[in-house]
Amino acid sequence: MELSFILNGKPKRLDTEPERRLIDLLRKDLHLSGTKEGCGEGECGACTVIIDGKAVHSCLVLACQLEGREVLTIEGLEEAGELSRIQRIFVEETAIQCGYCTPGMIMSAKALLMQNPHPTEEEIRNALAGNICRCSGYTQIIRAVSRTAAEGGQ
Amino acid sequence: MQSFIPKTWEEIPDCLRQMTEKSKFLGGGTDLIIKLHSGQLKSDALCYLGYVRELREIREQEEGLSIGAYLSMTELERDPGIKARYPALMQAAADVGSVQIRNNGTIGGNIGNASPAGDLLPVLCLYEAKVETMGPGGLRRLPIEEVLLSPGRMSLSYNEAIVRILLPPCTMETAFLKLGSRKKLTISRIGIALGAEREDGRIRKLRLYIGAVSIKPLRLKAAEELAIGKRIGESEVLAMAEILSDYIREHVPEEFDRDYKVWAARGAMLDIFSRLKLISAEESEG
Amino acid sequence: MRYVGKSYPIHDAEQKASGRAVYAGDMEQKEMLYGAVLFSEIPHGIVKALDCRRALDYPGVVDIAHCFNTTKKEYNRYQSQFGQKLVKTERVFNEHVRFVGDRIACVIAETEEAAREALRLIDVEYERLPYSLNVWESLKGTIDGIHPEGAVFEAGEILYGEKREEPGLLKLKTVTELSRINHVCMETHACIADYDIYKKELTIYSPNQTVYGIRTLIGDLFELDYSRVRVIKTTMGGSFGAKQEWVLEPVAAAAAIRVGRPVKLVYNRAETMISSYGRSPMHFETECLFAADGALKGVDCELILDAGAYLGNSINYARTVGYKLSRGYRYPYYHFHARAVLSNTIVGGAFRGWTSPEAAIMLEHSFNMAARKLRMDPIDIRLKNVMHPGDSDFLTEVPIGNFRAAEALMQGREHFRWEERKEEIRLFNRKNKRFRRGLGVSLGAHVNGFYPSKTDYARVDMRLTETGSVEMNLTIHDHGCGTVTALQMIAAEALGIAMEKVSLGEGDTRYTPLDVGCFSSRTTYVQGKAAVLCAEAFREKLKEHVALLTGWPEEELLVEGERVFPRSAPEQGYSWSRVAEESQQILKKELFVSKEYIPDTNPGVAGAHFAMVEVDRYTGMTKLLHYLAVHDIGQAINREICIAQTQGAVLMGAGAALLEEVKTRPDGSPMGSLKDYHLINSFEAPDVRVEFIEDGGTEGPYGAKSIGEVAHTPVTAAVVAAVNDALGSEMNRIPLTPDVICAYLSEREKGKKGE
């Protein structure tokens, strides 16, 4: 099928199969490997991207659901060749260890801040509950999200 | 694989006509995509109706609230009308999976999956929801309890799409509670939808639908009858919980966590009655 | 200190935050093919025939490697050093399949989709054999034919001291049951192998804990000269022990050698959980003797470990449990006996702590039960028995050095408000019928390297660049917890230059020195020490070169502020950059040093953990309310990362205590999904406080000791203790899921009614 959608701010047209998963489209067809696959069943959150302002699992979205939608991946966050604020704060707060959960975690956090610029800790914990980090106890991640909010958003 | 992706209401019937018994309706895809990708399920075509405006709308109608089948859990959770008049539906939607799953998962998909653990199903039964479907022959409405047959099976034809869910006006106070294996992001092991009408502190009407203890939501009539005309306190709730435990003991196969459910029914019942403030928090703590 | 003890982001944090970091699964190579593995669907049997014709005809399929066309040489996935004596039971592909998940074949195709689709077209004809899903069935002899050596293996016996059954001693029997758990690294297993048919050279890229271990095993298995096997460690998305035994590497290598092209193999989550390995189920029966004052007089412990379908590390693992019991407490008598028993289940293997958490779960429970019977406080009974600085490991007789277990327990008692909370909980529990709160404490001890049991050494090279920076070369394997940054900090501190002036890579057998792998919490202690020694030698070398270049006497020279200058004329010196330049131009050599370090110490390292839980007696759910971890870390190198690592360890161990378990269905198929295997998520995670006792006093770099494994050691035991305290129960099986807790309470209630 012919598919047109917006990817990281730019219109994208491609020929694909309706049942192609978004994560395969990104990683295999468009060589955007920042989005990670951790379980393929919506349990770990590593593949989280933002579609029309909302965090979703790219392993649970098919090409046929994407027409005209706006997809934002981790690769779309850098601004003028530099890390965006939320990314930089994740780095500074040592909220990154093995890093495999990081792109999905940042996308979930960003989606939260887009809708709720001043979340409470409880709201942050809730918004990130679907993103598993096996290295940390989430402390530094939650701190990074709070600080991003305090410093003016994602 | 083929795909049918109508953009308007008018285009739907033509798509439905082209579907075969092997074709699947794709809702949010939170369950179907896993099965397709793993090869557990084979399909010749997917029909996705998520672009059709009417299927994404919530509308006030004379006979109640009409909810488009492609409304996501997040949208249900945030809708002020649902929150005010159908709070159990809001609570059930809010309890589904993670943020990502709630953003993707749809009410139509939850019904279409017909999982015994489907979070919305006891609530839809409680509200006596009607499911509006469109087949090649046109529209029809069925009570939710007639749509659900058994795990994974509905009474609908392979080319009959769920388009809207109609909730008649509800005069009861209502609430939903889910007990899983942990606090969040968990599959329901007991889901309880409770509705009550009170008069002078006594129960005039009570409805209890239990999810995940039977092939489809179970109406616990014996417990409802026990409550009629009474002032509810801890002992009444414990008696109702005992009815639930007895049901589970007799009907749930052991491998479906029977023993756990028998024990935990008490806690779940105390919590749901406390959530509706029919008993106090202290009473629920025993 | 300029760097040590401060906090820095992990070296590739920016790449990870931007999505640019490249993991093995992200790598793409010219002409690359994709592998997908066919796994046994039966728990035990023989593959009588494979029909691959339809699969080979599938578009995009290039070849199929399988049990009938691939080397039948046997290996042991645990091998990581040359000449290790191990029982070899496993093949790349197995004709005799021994569990659901055993490898039978690998389809090699132009795309992953084609490879996976073609798998479904292979017809397998099995002859079924009787199977066993647990040690009890195996001990009956049901699967004695699983390997020529049988199904039951002696793992070792340890006897120390003499048992004295004096009158008045408390004889305490406990049973401990551990379920099978999985590492759940967020990165699933992945590997790329490439074979150059002309050079006859194999290159392997994988996230792993020892490049040389893989080289050795692959070289032996495929009969390749070691110089023709190059192994490169890739960015690792977590290990926790999951990436130190070789599962994908042999398969990818077999495939690449077959087709002479790069082959990428990525296991999905289910494949990773089922077909790599997990922590073995264990069954302990223990008898402890305690004096009335709480002094531990002896331990008799019998362990049966469920090794799963292949032996792997299980003999060593079961035996090591015994050795981990001699590092926290002193007692006059100790008898330990272990067996490793095979079953037709997921293979057992390494897990964070390498048996020290398992040992702690068993022994700490005995302390708690003894404390209860003797009406002692659980902290007091530990203080009564704990080892002190200057003591030795009573089995290896290695001094445990500056071991601050007692201090950690006492500091925790105060900072956790143990006594106050005990009283608060007493009042809470008296009032509350449904919710019960409880406190738990546990002590975990661990090691710093292999000494004296196995070979341990490290080599670090440093060379000076013309821009005055230092390139450090050593073989490390960052699991994602920041060893590269830690080594960079240590080197910069010791060299006296800015951190960004020190660069280093990770393990690559072509270029980095021979190494025994990032195991046994040795990286900071052993390799970090080698880095310090190398930096010191490097500074001497700088002086030597400057002396040669200028004629200033070497003993007159100082190295400071990235300059080398004579004491008497500080204004005259050389910048490091000029040293490099003139060394090259005038001395005709690069400024280079290489330093070897062979450790001859292995101090103890302790963690005292404190947990407070609330159990809902009606639903069996346990909530972790408060948690404190106190560690005698010696010196934290990268502080915030040490804290984060400890907090992660707490969630992992608490998950093992309350939720985590890989279940197997009666037909032998394991449940390999995160839908069934729950981890503690951000919503349930308690606020974990971490405190470090930092008084150095070790041979390690700047007095540092290990943290990654010891942080995991006490956790499960502490949480289990708190649950038992809350309920007044004596359960010691993990996980204590709501089901287990409710079953226990239900039994107890029936028992009361029956009385």
Out of B182, B184, B266, closest to residue C618 by CB: B266
What is the C-alpha radius of gyration for chain C, rounded to an integer number of angstroms?
27
| Interface contact flag, A55 B48, Cβ < 8 Å | no
pLDDT tens sequence across C93-142: 999 999 999 999 999 999 999 999 999 999 999 999 999 999 999 999 99
Residue of chain C with shortest Cα separation from A96: C13
Neighbours of chain B (3+ CB pairs under 8 A): A, C
A129 touches C: beta carbon within 8 Å: yes
Give the pTM.
0.98
- Find, among C619, C645, C646, the residue nearest to C715 by Cα: C646
**Class of the CATH-defined domain A2-76:** alpha beta
Listed by start position, the domains of chain B span 2-167, 173-284
Q: Considering CB atoms only, which of A17, A67, A130 is closest to B97?
A: A130
C634-674 pLDDT per residue, tens: 999 999 999 999 999 999 999 999 999 999 999 999 999 99
d(CA C414, CA A101): 36
Q: Pick from C18, C240, C678 the residue to mutate for testing the A interface (most A CBs within 10 Å).
A: C18
ipTM beyond cut 0.85? yes
Residue B258 C-alpha, separation from nearest chain A C-alpha, in angstroms: 25
Q: What is the spatial distance between Cα C86 and Cα C317, in angstroms, rounded to a whole number?
A: 12
Assess contact for B105 and B92: CB atoms under 8 A. Answer: no
Dihedral sign, CA of B265, B268, B271, B275?
negative
Domain B173-284: give its CATH superfamily.
Answer: CO dehydrogenase flavoprotein, C-terminal domain (3.30.390.50)
What's residue A47's pLDDT?
Answer: 98
Interface of B with A in 19-38 (CB under 8 A): 26, 28-30, 33-34, 36-37
Q: Does C675 touch chain B (CB under 8 A)?
A: yes
Work out the angle at residue C387's Cα, subtended by the Cα atoms of residues C385 and C392, and round it to the nearest 5 degrees. Answer: 135
* Mean per-residue pLDDT, B209-228: 96
Residues 6+ apart with CB under 8 A from C92: C65, C70, C71, C103, C221, C250, C251, C254
Tell whether the model's pLDDT for residue B209 goes beyond 70.
yes
DSSP one-letter code for B167 = E
Share of chain B above pLDDT 70, in %: 100
Contact C542, C560 (CB under 8 A): no
- Report the residue from C434, C435, C742 with minimal CB separation from B263: C742
Distance from CA of B13 to the nearest CA of A (A): 19
- Residue A27 CA to residue A30 CA, distance in Å, equals 6
Q: Which fold has domain C13-129+183-275?
A: Aldehyde Oxidoreductase; domain 3 (3.90.1170)
Let me know: does C473 contact C462? Beta carbons within 8 Å.
yes
pLDDT > 80? residue B183: no
- Contact across the interface for C643 and A35, Cβ inside 8 Å: no
**Count of CB atoms situated within 10 Å of the CB of B179:** 27
In which residue ranges of chain A is CATH 1.10.150.120 found? 85-150
Using the predicted structure, report yes or no on whether residue B22 has a pLDDT greater than 70.
yes
- Residue C278 confidence (pLDDT): 98
A85-150 CATH choice from 2.60.40.1180, 1.10.3720.10, 1.10.150.120, 3.30.30.60: 1.10.150.120
H or E stretch including C572?
Answer: none
Instruction: pLDDT band for B181, please (50, 70, 90 cuts).
Output: confident
Asked if residues B187 and B180 have their Cβ atoms less than 8 Å apart, the reply is yes
Residue C578, SS3 per DSSP = helix
Task: Return the residue matching tokens 């798509």.
Answer: B15
Q: Where in chain A do CATH 3.10.20.30 domains reside?
A: 2-76
In this complex, is the C-beta atom of B200 within 8 Å of any C-beta atom belonging to chain C? no
CB contact under 8 A, C739 and B285: no
B3 reaches A (C-beta below 8 A): yes
The type of residue at B40 is Q
For C665-701, letters b (16+ CB in 10 Å) and e give eeebbbebbbbebbbbbbbbbbebbbbbbbeebbbbb
CB contact under 8 A, C269 and A73: no
Whether C306 and C280 have beta carbons less than 8 Å apart is answered as yes
Rounded to a whole number of angstroms, the CA Rg of chain A reads 15
Q: In b/e form, how buried is each residue of C92-127, taking b as 16+ CB within 10 angstroms? A: bbbbbbbbbbbbbbbbbbeebbbbbbbbebbebebe
Residues 583-642 (C) with a CB less than 8 A from some CB of A: 640-641
Distance from the Cα of C364 to chain B's closest Cα (Å) equals 26
Low-confidence ranges of chain C (pLDDT < 50): none
Q: What are the helix and strand counts (H, E) for chain B? A: 13, 14
Classify domain C458-597 by CATH number: 3.30.365.10
Chain A residues with CB within 8 Å of chain B CB: 1, 17-19, 21, 40-43, 45, 48, 51, 54-57, 59-62, 64-65, 67-68, 108, 111-112, 126-127, 129-131
Q: Starting from the edge strand earliest in sequence, which strands make up the sheet with C152-161, in order?
A: C152-161, C333-342, C296-308, C282-290, C170-178, C733-734
Locate the chain C residue with the closest alpha carbon to A93.
Answer: C9
Chain C nearest-CA distance from B182, in A, is 7
**Which residues from C are below 8 Å from B259, CB to CB?**
739, 742-743, 746
Q: How far apart are CA B75 and CA B92, in angstroms?
A: 12
Give the pLDDT of residue C752.
82
User: What CATH number is given for C400-447+603-755 in this structure?
Assistant: 3.30.365.10
Same fold, B2-167 and B173-284: no
Nearest to B3 among A21, A64, A126 (CB): A64
- The strand ranges marked E within chain B are 2-4, 24-26, 45-48, 58-61, 64-68, 130-135, 138-143, 148-150, 153-154, 161-167, 173-179, 190-199, 202-211, 218-219
Cα Rg of chain B (Å, integer): 19
- Show the DSSP H helices in C146-245 as ranges: 211-221
Range A15-26 average pLDDT:
97
Given a cut of 70, whether residue B184 has pLDDT beyond it is yes
CATH for the stretch B2-167: 3.30.465.10
Contact residues, chain B, for A51 at CB < 8 Å: 103
Residue ranges per structural domain of chain C: 13-129+183-275, 400-447+603-755, 458-597
Containing C648, the helix (H) or strand (E) segment is helix C639-658
A154 membership: H or E segment, kind and range: none
